[in-house]
A and B are shown apart, each in its own frame.
Chain A
Amino acid sequence: MTRRRILSTAAVLAVAGLLTACAGNGPGATAQGAGNGQNVRVYLADDTNIQELWQNTLIPAFTAANPGIGVDVQFDLHGANKTQTIAKLAAAEQQGKDPGIDLVEGGATEDAGPAGLLLDPAGLVSGLAGIDPKIVAAAGPGSVPYRASSVLLAYDSTKVQDPPRTLDDLLAWIKAHPGQFTYNSPKTGGSGQAFVTTVLDKFVPPDVREQMTTGYHKELEDNWQEGWRTLAALNQYVFQHGVYPNGNNGTLDLLASGQVSIIPVWSDQFLSGQQHGTIPPTVKALQISDPPLTGGATAVGIVKGTDRQDNTVKLVDFLLEPAQQQAIAQKIGGYPVISLDKLSADVQTAFGDAHPDQLRPTYFTDHKNDLNNLWDQLVPGH
């Protein structure tokens, strides 16, 4: 009897395991709510910290302030199905059908905007006026920036007593300490991309840089030549003579296990990593200067074919209110995008040194795609 019970329990567990495995992480797999016809449907293609931010903080606050309007989240871990989702939006737009998504967030906004799949927020979203126009322009067409972060230099303070404080110092440090530095391949995460961008910027004139931030001018990429040579020359001094892990977490793992001593890291990932104990307290972070590592805003975009435009606009405006900006700063260490003087004193002190209003923006999205491509071509193995 006992044996049979064990067997049947095992069988039930196995079936349950299979069913869980089948659930997958595709868009819609974690859709919540009963599908109220007026609910705002948000597509989040990010890490779990952003999912928690929305589901535990932003959405409860929004539904409390706007009774009757729910928010359904479609979560897509790391944006694994991003291209397919945007293709879905494009197909829906072409056929004049309901896209099934009202608001896209993060990387999806960067691709959907230039493809003409997002509504122009100017005139719709009143909160847009409170954001620095430069940050709005850098976010691209159709995008409403709602949180920002910058890339910092994380270092193991037990091994590095006198960390580099400028880009030139950093480059010299990398050469003086072979194997102790690495960054993730730029196509797999923004922290490595920011380091690459910053090295390229060293040789790009400021007026050219400005143009490449707000629009796509392929011919200007010639200015990157010298930067690529500098990056390729670093190969022999990088971890294992040129190993660049995949993903922002790949480098963090190497730092936490002591295999490297300095890496670029996202400010919010660093702060939440230290809170959760995945990054040891001996790891410190600082921003370099001349030039600083780039940062950037993450945006939301309102999908063109939405039949719930009013509620979606309401949600976007809500995100830009001081209370929510403050919550973003406290929950995930994200920089506010509105002026700091509208926020509480402790947020002002916490972010005062980081100068979120002076974030050095990254390149325009098409330039970023080219940067990913050219890095793969010109840097590793050369």
Chain B
Amino acid sequence: MRRRPIAGLLMAAPPVLVVAVFVGFPIGTAIAYSLGHVGGLNTTIARIARDQHTVDAWWQQTLGAYADVLADGRVLRDLLTTVAVTLVTTVVVVGLAWAIALYLRLSGSRAAQVLAAIAVIPMFIPVVIASWAILTFYAGDGFVRSLAAILGGDAPTLGYTVVCITIAMIWTQLPFATLMVTSGVQAVPTALIEAAADAGASFPRIVRSVLLPLAVVPTVIAATFTAIATLGAFTVPYFTGPNAPTMLGVDMAAYFQSYNLPQQAVVIAVVVFVIAAGIGALYVWANLRAARAAGRA
């Protein structure tokens, strides 16, 4: 079929415009604000802010706010915490999602279907409520410690720790990843699996050589969405985590609301944005690969 790039562009124009105006433009002004531009659309926020670094003309830039934030040991510490929580959460979530998907694909039993359905339930529970529930579950007087005490043992108090943040993040992120990976693995034709089994392939070999290559795109999508959602999390670390170290989402809110330093809050947001953009590139790559495989590009 002959390609008509102009028609395609016109059809894509409305969503592109909406994204440009409502997403791209605010990001642009925010980045300009972080570089010291306090005029124009940034006048209002600049008027109530404290300790701003400003420039006099549009061609000048100042990295003062960035220097402020980087000089603050707390932000670096919280950046490391955020990256660590994101990595652990993503790996565990993708691992669990794959375990459920394989169980469902290879056993297909009623128990497997029930398990896959249960794994999706957290999607229907608001994050605030889930955070409180998880906090009380692991608190000093929570279920885990009470059970251990009844059995004569002593369980650690996980409430208000980074471990608790990670558990809660895994809990909230698992449903989406499970849906993605399960559908990807379910889509692998049974004939391929049986052919491999007939040729004498072991179970690990079938997973590695048949299922994994055919489900790699949904897996990458699940991983990138989990990672980006964890990176920008606020509610979970705010409620379940310790005062320090915490995650950058909490720091951003504190800089903006509690310290009245919006410029520095924007700087942290830019840092998170850059990391998320890196992860987003993976997602785009996976999509392109899928499109190419389908012969659309």
Which residues from chain A sit less than 8 Å from chain B, CB to CB? Answer: 82-83, 86-87, 90-91, 94, 111, 115, 185, 187-188, 240, 242-246, 257-259, 366, 369-370, 372-373, 376-377, 379-382
Contact check, A259 vs B141: say whether CB atoms are below 8 A apart: yes
Query: Given A83-B257, A373-B261, is A115 in contact with B48 using a C-beta cutoff of 8 Å?
Result: yes
Q: Which residue of B lies closest to A82 (CB)?
A: B257
Q: Which residue of A lies closest to B264 (CB)?
A: A373
Seed contacts A83-B257, A243-B160; 13 additional CB < 8 Å A-B pairs: A87-B44, A87-B45, A90-B48, A187-B254, A188-B258, A240-B140, A243-B242, A246-B239, A366-B260, A372-B254, A372-B258, A372-B259, A381-B243
Which of B43, B72, B244, B261 makes the CB contact (< 8 A) with A380?
B244
Q: How far apart are the CA atoms of A346 and B256 in the complex, in Å?
A: 44
How many chain B residues sit at the interface, stated as a range, is 20 to 34
Task: Check: B171 CB closer than 8 A to any chain A CB.
Answer: no
Task: Check: B50 CB closer than 8 A to any chain A CB.
Answer: yes
Task: Check: B157 CB closer than 8 A to any chain A CB.
Answer: yes
Task: Check: B238 CB closer than 8 A to any chain A CB.
Answer: yes
Chain A neighbourhood of B289, CB < 8 A: none
Q: Which residue of A lies closest to B140 (CB)?
A: A259
Task: Check: B3 CB closer than 8 A to any chain A CB.
Answer: no
Q: Which residue of A lies closest to B135 (CB)?
A: A245
Contact check, B43 vs A369: say whether CB atoms are below 8 A apart: no
Task: Check: B292 CB closer than 8 A to any chain A CB.
Answer: no
Q: Which residue of A lies closest to B126 (CB)?
A: A21
Interface members, chain B 138-196 (any A CB < 8 Å): 140-141, 157, 159-160
Query: Given A86-B48, A90-B48, A246-B238, is A240 in contact with B157 using a C-beta cutoff of 8 Å?
Result: yes
Contact check, A185 vs B141: say whether CB atoms are below 8 A apart: no
Q: How far apart are the CA atoms of A259 and B47 in the complex, in Å?
A: 44
Q: Which residue of B lies closest to A373 (CB)?
A: B259
Chain B neighbourhood of A370, CB < 8 A: 259
Q: Which 6 A-B pairs have the closest CB atoms?
A: A187-B258, A381-B244, A380-B243, A380-B244, A373-B259, A243-B160
Chain A neighbourhood of B243, CB < 8 A: 185, 242-244, 376, 379-381
Q: How far apart are the CA atoms of A125 and B256 in the complex, in Å?
A: 33
Query: Given A243-B242, A246-B238, is A369 in contact with B141 using a C-beta cutoff of 8 Å?
Result: no
B215 to chain A, nearest CB (A): 35
Interface members, chain B 39-61 (any A CB < 8 Å): 43-45, 47-48, 50
Q: Which residue of B lies closest to A188 (CB)?
A: B258
Chain B neighbourhood of A91, CB < 8 A: 44
Chain A neighbourhood of B256, CB < 8 A: 83
Task: Check: B245 CB closer than 8 A to any chain A CB.
Answer: yes
B294 to chain A, nearest CB (A): 37
Q: How far apart are the CA atoms of A370 and B264 in the complex, in Å?
A: 14
Chain B neighbourhood of A379, CB < 8 A: 243
Contact check, B141 vs A366: say whether CB atoms are below 8 A apart: no
Which of B238, B244, B260 makes the CB contact (< 8 A) with A376?
B244
In the complex, per-residue mask of B17-49: 1 if CB is within 8 Å of any chain A CB, else 0: 000000000000000000000000001110110
Query: Given A87-B44, A240-B160, is A369 in contact with B254 using a C-beta cutoff of 8 Å?
Result: no
Q: How far apart are the CA atoms of A257 and B50 in the complex, in Å?
A: 40
User: Which residue, of B160, B245, B258, has the highest number of chain A Cβ atoms within 10 A?
Assistant: B258
Chain B neighbourhood of A187, CB < 8 A: 254, 257-259
Contact check, B160 vs A373: say whether CB atoms are below 8 A apart: no
Q: How far apart are the CA atoms of A55 and B72 in the complex, in Å?
A: 44
Q: How far apart are the CA atoms of A87 and B238 in the complex, in Å?
A: 25
Task: List 24 contacting pairs A-B, 8 Å CB cutoff, sorted by A.
Answer: A86-B48, A87-B45, A90-B44, A90-B47, A90-B48, A94-B47, A187-B258, A240-B159, A240-B160, A242-B242, A246-B238, A246-B239, A369-B258, A369-B259, A369-B260, A369-B261, A370-B259, A372-B259, A373-B254, A373-B259, A379-B243, A380-B242, A381-B77, A382-B244
Which of B43, B245, B254, B260 makes the CB contact (< 8 A) with A111?
B260
B229 to chain A, nearest CB (A): 21
Chain A neighbourhood of B72, CB < 8 A: 377
Q: How far apart are the CA atoms of A370 and B255 in the complex, in Å?
A: 10
Q: Which residue of B lies closest to A254 (CB)?
A: B140
Contact check, B74 vs A257: say whether CB atoms are below 8 A apart: no
Contact check, A369 vs B50: say whether CB atoms are below 8 A apart: yes
Chain A neighbourhood of B45, CB < 8 A: 87
A199 to chain B, nearest CB (A): 16
Q: How far apart are the CA atoms of A187 and B257 in the complex, in Å?
A: 9
Q: How far apart are the CA atoms of A123 and B160 in the complex, in Å?
A: 51
Interface members, chain B 191-249 (any A CB < 8 Å): 238-239, 242-245
